Amino acid sequence: MTSLPNHLSSYTPCPSNKKISTADGSMMTVAGQGEVQISSSITLKNVLHIPKLFISLISIKKLIQDLSCNAIFYDNMCVLQDKYSGRTIGHARQWNDLYYLKHQNLPPDMHNINAFSFDSITTNREKVFLHHCRLGHPSFRVIKLLFPPFLLN
C-alpha cells in the first residue's frame, strides 16, 4: 500500500467503494492499484494506492509468496533471499520497530525513509551482517579474515 501514485506503473483506478481497514479500525478508500519496481529483482504487484496513507507498507506474506523468496530476520535487519538459488534480492533495515526496504527507484528526496547504506550503519554488528549479505552469506570466519576490525569484540 502506498499514498504515492507516481511510484505505480500499470495504474488501474478502483471503484470508490473499495476500502481497507487500518490498525485503529478506521477505513480508508483505495483509489487504484498497480505495480512498483523496487529493484531489478523486486517488482511488487497489486500495490494499492491509498491517498490518506502516511507511510508505504508491504505485507511480508504477500511479498514472499509473489517473489518466491524467504525473509530472514535478524535483530536489526531483514534479508530477502530467492527461495531456489539462495541469492540475496533485497534488504530491509529495522528502525523504530519497523523494517524499511531499500528502494533503488525512489527519487533522491525520498531516500531518507529508506535508508540502508553503509554510511547509515553505526555498529560493527550491522556492518558484519551487511557484508555477510552483500558477499553471498559467507561464514563469519571468512568475514573475520576479510574485515578483522569489525569483529574485534
Report the range of poorest mean pLDDT among 8-12, 53-57, 107-111, 132-136: 107-111
Region 90-117: mean pLDDT is 59
pLDDT (tens digit, 9 = 90+) per residue, 49-95? 999 887 788 888 888 888 899 999 988 889 999 999 988 888 888 88
User: Are residues 131 and 147 in contact, defined by beta-carbon separation less than 8 angstroms?
Assistant: yes
User: Are residues 116 and 39 in contact, defined by beta-carbon separation less than 8 angstroms?
Assistant: no
Instruction: Answer yes or no: pTM beyond 0.85.
Output: no
Reply yes or no on whether the pLDDT at 115 is more than 70.
no
Question: Which residue from 116, 124, 114 is spatially nearest to 147, judged by alpha carbons?
Answer: 124
User: Domain spans of the chain?
Assistant: 5-116
What pLDDT was estimated at residue 81?
A: 92
Go through 54-88 and write b for each residue having 16 or more CB atoms within 10 A of its CB, e for each that does not: eebebeeeebeeebebebeeeeebbbbbeeeeeeb
Alpha-carbon distance of 100 to 134, in angstroms, equals 17
Place 119 in a pLDDT band, splitting at 50, 70 and 90: very low
Report the range of poorest mean pLDDT among 78-92, 99-113, 126-140: 99-113
Instruction: Look up residue 137 and give its three cell numbers.
Output: 552469506
